[in-house]
Structure 1
Amino acid sequence: MKFAHAKPNDIPTLTSLLNRSYRGESSRAGWTTEADLLSGKRIDEAGVSALLNNPDSYFFIAFQEETIVASIHAYRENNAVHFGLFAVEPTMQGSGIGKQLLAYAETESMK
């Protein structure tokens, strides 16, 4: 598993992962589904781009081979970091990827 900061060219893949992980039929393969509560997209490319371009905001991603399989957003405010938009490929949830990515994000966001 490799971890990295997301880059602008990751926006389409990242947006797809976030939407696939939370909404629609594909999200039912995991445990984070909002499919029974909400419809439509969780976030669009403009929203991901705005977060990625904010200097106090970071997206961290996990790769398996060359595929993005998980992401987490971190927002630094004062002396705290807030995490959100945590997504793991639905068929891979429960495998420990999220735990590893969170540990990486906690370390990286405090640098």
Structure 2
Amino acid sequence: MTDLTFRTATLADVDAIIPLVESAYRGEASRKGWTTEADFLDGQRIDRQLLIELIKRDDARVILVERDAELIACCELQNQQGIAYFGMFSVAPEGQGNGVGNHLLIEAERFAAREWQCREMSMTVIDIRNELIAWYERRGYRRTGVFKPFPYGDERFGIPRRDDLRFEVLSKALG
């Protein structure tokens, strides 16, 4: 995977990030990969204005992965008082399962530990995503037993197809 390039997103990248994130989670295109949420969420996965605000923040980064100048993966990091929040983790469906996501996760952990001196990385995952949670557990993340409600009624985060969605916090010590 030495042909991967990592960089921080700028506002000029917004129009490329949105379709990447949508393709990894929503609609028929997402069914090519294993991270789809299409069976339990419709609507958008990412809100344009929230993405713009995230890119502008000093305490956040959107990390992009490119291969031959083509955007193939991304994630967000937020420095939350010494704990790095990891989210918006997206790999193009046709590229899932070939190690790109693992390399991006390692790069995000490295950035959080070295650049921000974070001692922990946390994330929220919809708790019915057992295969995804198991993938994170194989990379050292642990289920915390802390749950957060799904933002029902806020279509910026999607339109639920079921009424039992909630997030579980996963965590990993860094460094």
Please say whether Structure 1 and Structure 2 have the same fold, judged by a TM-score greater than 0.5. yes
Whether 1:76 and 2:51 are equivalent positions in the alignment is no
1:92 maps to what in 2? Answer: 95
Kept after mapping to 2: 8 A contact 1:58/1:109: no
Is 1:43 paired with 2:22?
no
Whether 2:14 is the aligned partner of 1:4: answer no
Counterpart residue number, 1:23: 26
Structure with the bigger percentage of helix: 1
In structure 1, the gaps of 5 or more residues are none
> Cα distance, 1:44 vs. partner?
2.5
C-alpha deviation, 1:29, in angstroms: 0.3
4+ long deviations beyond 6 Å: none
Q: What SS does the aligned partner of 2:64 have?
A: strand
**For the pair shown, which has the larger CA radius of gyration, 1 or 2?**
2
Is the partner of 1:91 in helix, strand or coil? helix
Identical pairs, percent: 34
Q: TM-score, normalised by structure 2?
A: 0.61
State how far apart, in whole Å, the 2-side matches of 1:44 and 1:20 are: 14
Unaligned runs of 5+ residues in structure 2 are 116-175
In the alignment, what sits opposite 1:58? 61
Higher relative contact order (CA 8 A, sep 6+): 1
**Cα distance in 2 for residues equivalent to 1:44 and 1:81:** 21
Q: C-alpha root-mean-square deviation of aligned residues, in Å?
A: 0.9
Q: Partner residue of 1:34? A: 37
Higher strand share: 2
TM-score, scaled to structure 1: 0.95
The alignment of Structure 1 onto Structure 2 pairs a total of residues equal to 111
Q: Which moved more, 1:38-47 or 1:18-27?
A: 38-47
The structural deviation recorded for 1:56 is 1.0
